[in-house]
Structure 1
Amino acid sequence: NTESQIHRQLASGLSMPVGFKNATDGSVTAAVNGCLAASQHHTFFGIDHLGRACAVQTLGNPDCHVVLRGSSKGPNYDASSVAAAVASVRLRLGANCVASNGVVIDCSHGNSGKDENRQIQVVQDIADRFAHGEKGIKGVMMESFLQGGNQDPAPLSELEYGKSITDRCISWKDTERLLNTLAQSVSSRRLKS
């Protein structure tokens, strides 16, 4: 949960990028505040490498970013939603933080209406925007697996290999094609710069 203080504190001690998703109502405030909280030093109760109780001290994580996941109101990967999210980050965190450089778009969930095949259209739209020079998007997330779709959880012997037992996913074949499309669009944008 983006609003969870414990998760924000844990993220402040990770040496890797961490994304904070917008709320399901579409608000980016909690995600922006998550980036701010995780960028700060924290001390909290935890355990050390020997399993003993200790005070964990973190240095803050400068590599957090906002993830636009869509909302109960619909998609939020359009150019105006991206610009508004980046503006919110810059207003709260300043223009020099990593998060102010752009957002990551979750091509699934609310941005695809939870229809795995709609992810393909979302990625193609983003690729077109990359190619035309839009700079507010720094990455994408896709629900992807070896095979498309999903299946209900079952005993291992009854499961179909390579198919998700959680969210509906696009196939690896579609994922590979979309990643190549994104790479070509980024190359096109770089040639124009």
Structure 2
Amino acid sequence: MTDNRVEDLNIGSITPLITPDQLKKEMPISDEAVACVQQGRQTVRDILDRKDHRIFLVVGPCSIHDVDAAKDYAQRLKVLAEEVSDTLYLVMRVYFEKPRTTVGWKGLINDPFMNDTFKIQEGLHISRQLLLDLAEMGLPLSTEALDPISPQYLQDLITWSAIGARTTESQTHREMASGLSSAVGFKNGTDGSLTVATNALMSVANPHRFLGIDQSGSVSIVETNGNNYGHVVLRGGGGKPNYDSVSVSLAEQALEKADLPNNIMVDCSHENSSKKPELQPLVMDNVTNQILEGNQSIIGLMVESNIKHGRQNIPANLDDLEYGLSVTDGCISWDETEQAIRKMRDKLKDVLPKRNA
């Protein structure tokens, strides 16, 4: 018999998903978490507006795969954040979605049990509960906005969002970011190109209309106001770093030419550290020295950090996973993190208050 279908030919199944509204009713945001998110967002906006002299650091695991380890890390980070709060504002990386060049583990939301069962509904519950727990601790949180639908489920708990190098050029992600409630950092392209990021910043500041979902899960026309707190994130590319003073100066010129705010964040990982985690503290130190020498544009850093140094492959037997060790990009250890952040704070504590005077 001839198959006359003309759609869904490569679709195996379609399963209804819990709506954002239903998830939030099951797992409502507490007053403590609301206060944390509001304060965190305002602090980042104030840093970008030069009303707060501090530098903000987005620091934490490359990706979250172990909720208990994430809470352990968060408790350590909370103590350190309070210690350095006069100079640095620490925001924890809580990344649930991982972009893939070909295939691989796509993160806690997509495959929470790391066994190719893709229990996305459970992944959303696990991820939201972790965000609630961490926000109630008083930690501002960040994530990468990769899937254009997931922010409807989680964005109410996010202080700062990233758009990755693979998606900065995507119209879908630019439109989505124009409606995000948090400040958003756009990384330069994987080839090192800054043009895609400056184009993205011009786009995201403007209103957009596009197809999306509302809180009840209905397909809708989404109309945004534009996001005035977009900024560039230098992460290296094309096999070369771009955190040095010459690269930063070129980025400043590109922003000025595009009539964009002179706000630059440096990602200490990826090609800025040649994908070697042990080089991240050296990048932090270089950036610190640029500020000491008079740089006015660098407002933040990203650091991939975990309890243990390095990374591991996901084993066939998940009982063999090593606690506190990344399963995606290699990270610096907690001891290295403390040392590097304290060093940065000590160098900048007397300089930053005078920086924008």
Q: Normalization by structure 2: what TM-score?
A: 0.51
Alignment correspondent of 1:81: 247
2:330 to 150, 153, 168: 168
Give the gaps of 5 or more residues in structure 2.
1-166
2:352 to 175, 179, 190: 190
1:33 aligns with 2:199: yes
1:58 to 203, 224, 230: 224
Aligned length: 188
Deviating above 4 A after TM superposition, structure 1's stretches of 4 or more consecutive aligned residues are: none
Q: Distance in 2 between matches of 1:76 and 1:29?
A: 14
Alignment correspondent of 1:17: 183
Once the two structures are superposed, what CA deviation does each residue of 1:131-162 show, in whole Å capped at 9, x if it has no partner? 23222211111111111100001243110111
Shift of 1:192: 5.3
Shift of 1:190: 2.8
- Secondary structure at 1:101 match in 2: coil
Once the two structures are superposed, what CA deviation does each residue of 1:75-97 show, in whole Å capped at 9, x if it has no partner? 111111111112111211x2xx5
- Secondary structure at 1:55 match in 2: strand
1:5 aligns with 2:171: yes
Q: Distance in 2 between matches of 1:89 and 1:124?
A: 24
Q: Which structure has the bigger radius of gyration?
A: 2
Q: Distance in 1 between matches of 2:191 and 2:340?
A: 28
Q: Distance in 1 between matches of 2:288 and 2:336?
A: 15
Once the two structures are superposed, what CA deviation does each residue of 1:54-111 show, in whole Å capped at 9, x if it has no partner? 111111111111111111241111111111112111211x2xx5xx232111111111
2:255 touches 2:262 (CA, 8 Å); kept in 1? no
Amino acid of the structure 1 residue aligned with 2:245: A
- Secondary structure at 2:233 match in 1: strand
1:130 touches 1:185 (CA, 8 Å); kept in 2? no
RMSD between superposed Cα atoms in Å: 1.5
Alignment correspondent of 2:209: 43
2:321 to 156, 159, 164: 159
Alignment correspondent of 2:42: none
Alignment correspondent of 2:283: 122
Alignment correspondent of 1:180: 342
1:109 aligns with 2:270: yes
Alignment correspondent of 1:90: 256
Once the two structures are superposed, what CA deviation does each residue of 1:104-137 show, in whole Å capped at 9, x if it has no partner? 1111111111010011111111112222322221
Aligned-residue identity in percent? 42
- Secondary structure at 2:337 match in 1: helix
- Secondary structure at 2:222 match in 1: strand
- With over 3 angstroms needed to count, the CA separation of the structure-2 counterparts of 1:160 and 1:73, relative to structure 1, is closer
- Secondary structure at 2:173 match in 1: helix
Q: Single out whichever of 175-184 and 63-72 deviates more from structure 2.
A: 175-184
1:44 touches 1:56 (CA, 8 Å); kept in 2? yes
1:142 to 281, 298, 303: 303
Give the gaps of 5 or more residues in structure 1.
none
Q: Normalization by structure 1: what TM-score?
A: 0.91
Q: Distance in 1 between matches of 2:263 and 2:345?
A: 17
